[in-house]
Amino acid sequence: MTELFAFLLTGLTVGFVYALVGMGFTVIYNASGIINFAQGEFVMAGGMIMVFLLAGGVPYLPAYLLAIGLTALLGVLLWKLTDLSRDSSQESLIILTLGYAIFLRGAAEVVFDKELHTLPPLLGEGHLTILGATLSYQALLVMAASVLIVAGLWFFFRRTRTGKAMIAVSLDPDAARLMGISLKKIWILSFSLAAAIASVGGILLTPITSTNYEVGIMLGLKGFAAAITGGLSNPFGAVAGGLILGIMEALVAGYLSSEYKDAVAFVIMLLILFFRPGGLFSHLGVQRV
Amino acid sequence: MRALVRRWNLRPALGVTALILALVPWMLSNDFYYEIAILALFNAMIAVGLNLLMGYAGQISLAHGAFAGLGGYIAAILTGRYGLAPLFSIAVSLGIMALLAYGLARPILRLRGHYLAMATLGVGIIVSIILNNEEELTGGTDGMSVESFSLFGHTFTESWEWYLLAALHLLFLLWLAQNLIESPLGRILRSLHDSERAPASVGVNVARYKSLVFVISVVVAALAGSLYAFFSGFISPQEAGFNRSIELVVMVVLGGMGRLYGAVIGAVILTLLPQLLTSFEDYQTLIYGAIIIGVMIFMPKGIVSLFDRWRRRG
């Protein structure tokens, strides 16, 4: 029982990070129809920038805000580049954003280094014991911050004019533009928002799993699997998808085989794509938030 | 198949390619240059096959690196662990890969755009995880050595023999692909690229043709992957990794999607690029990414489109 509970907690912690990455995918996808394969690199960028700011003597809080801000700026930069692209067929956009991912990985290699880095836990080394299973303060922080972000996004999409405008654009860009919504602003916002969310995940996860220049590949792909599992059109589906993938992964690693844990997310994603391409919750008929 | 290759249908482009391939060895002064040239030829084969799928049938695949690598592994395991003759093991490998592709084609090719990209990517990653973990068969992350390649009692050891073998394969493939594109099947494929409803509405079994071209492209990738494994005498999971699959897609796009010789040009450039960049080793990934971004933004129709512009002007 204790073992199972420990696996569940590990799964939840990682699952929340997949959820943050997955939400970023859906935010950009709904606003612009683009799948940004560099989403995982935002996670990497957040963690790495934070590591090097701290190493450069910047205090914790300013470093934290700066890391998020810089990553968000990176998001805007990528949007600018995408905007330059003349051909906008889906294949070209997929390859373009794959190019961003490779470029950012290469840039991190040059600007930072190839070493593995970690961060001191924000709330110290302590941990809670729940039903005999330990949960570090940092893991608790990952969960709490993720829940806060999800709640914040929910409020943003439901209650604010800008958030509603984003949903309007995702439903019908032409009609939204006729209503006076600036598509350009929405796109910029979606890219920076997705980057900022992912960078928070990267910063909070680094004390637990460490980070390096290529950590974004797997995180990005699993975040995408989370988004597909939950349904691409709904950011909150991605949260459920991320948690499911994280927990399944932890259970497989714990009970079956730790070698094959990385395959779990992709097997689930393929099953969803084959049998329920609209995502797990498509039967609810809820299309987009 | 007979309907596809009714005529000899030899084109000047094929002749020019044959001529270039015949002249290149004069520039290859040592075995290292040969090695790069041979790798470029095998890459070109995979890219030509992948281009049939991406450029003509309009279906993206982010798993062809995995298919080429898996084909190579199967052939290598059959010769190394089970003592089969190389030719026979390649034949079995291609058979297995064809079956695998056929089985995957239906569920996967129902998907489009991002979903298709993601599903193929998932398949590719699962293949590479399996190759990394089944150590008893594949040697795990360290890879495995591959027996030397012999054909009818003759063992291929010289570089020029491999060059000849690879060049002949590529020429034959180009000829076959040209025929395929100009056959009624090719017209159907191109119509799929634009819209699947239109051909379906005149009674074309869309799923069947998509599956067919998928199987062809996978088999070509597996053939090139197997031959390359025998040539290099070694195979590792990196050959089947995600980056390898992206590299292959970039070859097709860089050259020009839907342009037969574009894939060849893209493959040659991307194979030479790392060699030219060796002095900038730390910047390799960065430059590579920048090239992809630059090409997609400034010449999304690929390098071949530059020739078109020049021809129109002249």
What ipTM did this prediction achieve?
A: 0.86
* Residue in A96, A107, A228 closest to B286 by CB: A107
* Contact at CB, A267 and B54, closer than 8 angstroms: no
Q: What is the pLDDT of residue B62?
A: 92
Nearest to B288 among A90, A100, A102 (CB): A102
Report the predicted TM-score, pTM, of the whole model to 2 decimal places: 0.89
Residues 6+ apart with CB under 8 A from A270: B119, B122, B123, B126
Which residues lie below 8 Å from residue B305, measured CB to CB, with a gap of 6+? B256, B299
Among the listed residues A183, A171, A212, the one whose alpha carbon sits nearest the alpha carbon of residue A79: A183
Structurally, how many domains does chain A consist of? 1
Q: What is the arithmetic mean of pLDDT over A73-97?
A: 84
Contact B249, B120 (CB under 8 A): no
CATH number of the domain where residue A16 is located: 1.10.3470
The answer to whether residue A153 is domain-embedded is yes
Q: pLDDT confidence of A86, banded at 50, 70, 90?
A: low
Q: Do A109 and B282 touch (CB under 8 A)?
A: yes
Statement: residue A289 has pLDDT above 60: no
Residues 228-257 of B with CB under 8 A from A: 242, 246, 249-250, 253, 257
Say if A197 falls within a structural domain: yes
Please report whether residue A275 resides in a domain: yes
Nearest CA in chain B to A25: B114
Tens of pLDDT, residues B133-158: 988 888 888 888 888 887 777 778 78
Diameter of chain B measured on Cα atoms: 60
Residues of chain B with pLDDT under 50: 1
Q: What is the mean pLDDT of residues A20-37?
A: 88
User: Tell me, what's the pLDDT at A286?
Assistant: 47
Size of interface A-B (CB pairs under 8 A): 127
Put simply, the answer to whether B126 touches A85 (Cβ < 8 Å) is: no
The parent domain of residue A47 ranges over 2-284
* Amino acid (one-letter) located at B220: V
CA distances from residue A81 to A35, A69, A95, B114, B224 in whole angstroms, order as listed: 14, 19, 13, 20, 35
Domain ranges across chain B: 12-242
pLDDT tens digits, one per residue of A270-279: 999 888 877 7
CB burial of B16-53 (b: ≥16 within 10 Å; e: otherwise) equals: ebbeebeebbeebeeeeebbebbbbbbbbbbbbbbbbb
Q: Which pLDDT value is given to residue A252? A: 94
pLDDT grade for A287, boundaries at 50, 70 and 90? very low
Residue A92's closest chain B neighbor by CA? B296
| pLDDT at A8 > cutoff 60 | yes
Whether residue A289 lies inside any domain: the answer is no
DSSP letter, residue B85: -
Closest CA–CA distance from residue A104 to any residue of chain B (Å): 7
Is the pLDDT confidence value at A190 over 80?
yes
Name the residue in chain A with its Cα closest to that of B116: A273
A262 close to B (CB below 8 A): yes
